[in-house]
């Protein structure tokens, strides 16, 4: 298994509070907002978020072309920023990297962002590039698993994993059905990068112990995209907090048992928050051995649900506290899929 050398994060320039979201939507409609939308926004657990564009951009008709242009411009900038900082933290240069994994479900480019980064940032022309589309909110944990496997290959490699999402490009403020209200209330934009190494001599860094995932049958309607006329349209059809209690909890129990871990053996987990009610369901699952997941709550409060990067934002905060117990990573995404990982503290091996 590989060592986690560093994590770095980046957000767009445009910050918006939940109160400002309400004002923008009311202005767009020219009428009072539905009471249900006010309730969803108020109970989201979010104070502010960061968006790729100014708020007025999202109130104008858009096309696939305009969304792709924003994804290219803003997404590339965020990826370069996060990767540059992650390499600096790891005391590595682009020339030291053997592979770049990009996780993204809110846009796509050919050539991919990793391919374009080789020349732009000075990576070796032989650097392997792996763009992955479709993991959604489970992307960081699944991406770390993929990067871990690559880091272990060829006698040990250095790998950069990027999670990039511009969720705001899917907003459609002309529609006020339940799924669009939830998207408006929760989703945001951001990027995170992690540097993993399978090379020897990394005992001073935390290391991954294990990963696991499960995709449940007959759950494709829970989360995903439909291809709309102007971009990706959100699919969100079932109660995810109830799923956490009924289906995710026993899966996570079995995973921890397989690793010889009890709840009391763990530091604070790094969870993808989803939304306020999902956080509550996760806290109920971890209690009473784990008294809460404040880092997850704080990332949701300050950044919203950024889809795949969110877990890395949480993990970055937790590692700053220098935990001395294993960290459980959890995320739920399209499929419907659960992704789990365990990160051991430095020197645990």
Phi, psi of 314 (to 5 degrees): -70, -45
The rounded distance, in Å, linking the Cα atoms of 228 and 149 is: 35
Helix axes 35-42, 18-29, angle to 10 degrees: 160
The pairing of strands 99-103 and 158-166 is parallel
Neighbouring residues of 229: CB distance < 8 A, sequence distance ≥ 6: none
Helices (H), 43-126: 64-70, 76-89, 113-121
| Bond preceding residue 288 cis, omega within 30 of 0 | yes
286: its two tokens: 């971890």
Query: Residue 254 domain-assigned?
Result: yes
The rounded distance, in Å, linking the Cα atoms of 214 and 335 is: 9
Q: What is the DSSP code (8-state) at residue 225?
A: E
Q: Which residues pair with 340 in a beta bridge?
A: 212, 330
Residue with tokens 């991919």: 112
CATH of the domain at 287: 3.40.47.10
Same-domain status, 68 and 175? yes
Same-domain status, 121 and 223? no
Taking only the tens of pLDDT, the chain with its 349 residues reads 899 999 999 999 999 998 888 887 777 777 677 777 777 777 778 999 999 999 888 888 778 888 899 999 999 999 999 999 999 999 999 999 999 999 999 999 999 999 999 999 999 999 999 999 989 999 999 999 999 999 999 999 999 999 999 999 887 766 666 667 777 778 899 999 999 999 987 778 999 999 999 999 887 777 776 777 766 777 666 678 888 888 999 999 999 999 999 999 999 999 999 888 899 999 999 999 999 999 999 999 999 999 999 999 999 999 999 999 999 999 998 888 999 999 999 877 5
Same-domain status, 239 and 152? no
pTM of the model: 0.93
Helices (H), the chain: 18-29, 35-42, 64-70, 76-89, 113-121, 139-152, 178-186, 240-243, 249-258, 276-286, 294-303, 310-319
Is residue 262 exposed (0-12), middle (13-18) or buried (19+ Cβ within 10 Å)?
A: exposed
Query: Residue 7 domain-assigned?
Result: yes
Same-domain status, 225 and 179? no
Domain boundary residue among 135, 167, 197?
197
Q: What's residue 309's pLDDT?
A: 97
Structural contact between residues 72 and 110, judged by C-beta atoms closer than 8 angstroms: no
How many domains does the chain fold into?
A: 2
Using a CB cutoff of 8 Å and minimum separation of 24, what contacts does 291-295 make? 292/268, 293/268, 293/269, 294/268, 295/268, 295/270
Same-domain status, 130 and 236? no
Phi, psi of 323 (to 5 degrees): -65, 150
Same-domain status, 11 and 116? yes
Neighbouring residues of 57: CB distance < 8 A, sequence distance ≥ 6: none
Same-domain status, 45 and 183? yes
103: its two tokens: 């996780």
The rounded distance, in Å, linking the Cα atoms of 247 and 324 is: 29
Q: What's residue 302's pLDDT?
A: 96
Residue 65: domain span: 3-197
Q: What's residue 349's pLDDT?
A: 56
Same-domain status, 51 and 72? yes
The rounded distance, in Å, linking the Cα atoms of 121 and 349 is: 34
Angle formed at CA 220 by CA 240 and CA 188, multiple of 5 degrees: 55
Q: What's residue 242's pLDDT?
A: 85
Same-domain status, 173 and 243? no
Same-domain status, 43 and 154? yes
Same-domain status, 191 and 217? no
Same-domain status, 193 and 212? no
């Amino acid at each position: 298994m590989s060592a986690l050398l560093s994590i770095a994060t980046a957000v767009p320039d445009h910050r918006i509070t939940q109160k400002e979201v309400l004002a923008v939507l009311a202005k767009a409609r020219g009428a009072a907002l539905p009471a249900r939308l006010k309730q969803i926004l108020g109970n989201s657990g979010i104070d502010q978020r960061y968006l790729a564009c100014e708020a007025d951009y999202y109130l104008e008709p858009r096309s696939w072309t305009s969304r792709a242009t924003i994804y290219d411009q803003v997404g590339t900038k965020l990826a370069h920023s996060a990767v540059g900082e992650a390499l600096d933290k790891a005391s590595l240069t682009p020339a030291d990297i053997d592979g770049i994994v990009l996780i993204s479900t809110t846009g796509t480019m050919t050539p991919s962002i990793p391919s374009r980064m080789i020349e732009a940032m000075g990576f070796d022309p032989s650097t392997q590039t792996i763009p992955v589309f479709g993991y959604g909110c489970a992307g960081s944990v699944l991406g770390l698993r993929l990067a871990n496997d690559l880091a272990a290959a060829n006698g040990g490699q250095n790998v950069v994993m990027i999670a990039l999402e511009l969720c705001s490009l899917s907003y459609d403020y002309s529609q006020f059905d339940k799924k669009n209200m939830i998207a408006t209330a929760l989703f945001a934009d951001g990027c995170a990068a992690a540097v993993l190494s399978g090379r020897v001599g990394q005992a001073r860094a935390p290391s991954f112990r294990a990963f696991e995932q499960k995709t449940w049958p007959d759950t494709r309607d829970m989360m995903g995209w439909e291809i709309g006329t102007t971009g990706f349209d959100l699919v969100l059809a079932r109660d995810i907090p109830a799923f956490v209690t009924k289906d995710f909890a026993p899966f996570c129990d079995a995973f921890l048992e397989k690793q010889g871990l009890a709840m009391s053996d763990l530091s604070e987990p790094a969870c993808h928050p989803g939304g306020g009610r999902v956080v509550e369901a996760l806290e109920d699952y971890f209690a009473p051995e784990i008294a809460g997941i404040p880092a997850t709550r704080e990332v949701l409060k300050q950044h919203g649900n950024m889809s795949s990067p969110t877990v890395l934002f949480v993990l970055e905060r937790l590692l700053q506290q220098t935990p001395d117990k294993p960290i459980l990573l959890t995320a739920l995404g399209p499929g419907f899929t659960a992704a789990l990982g365990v990160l051991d503290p430095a020197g645990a091996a």
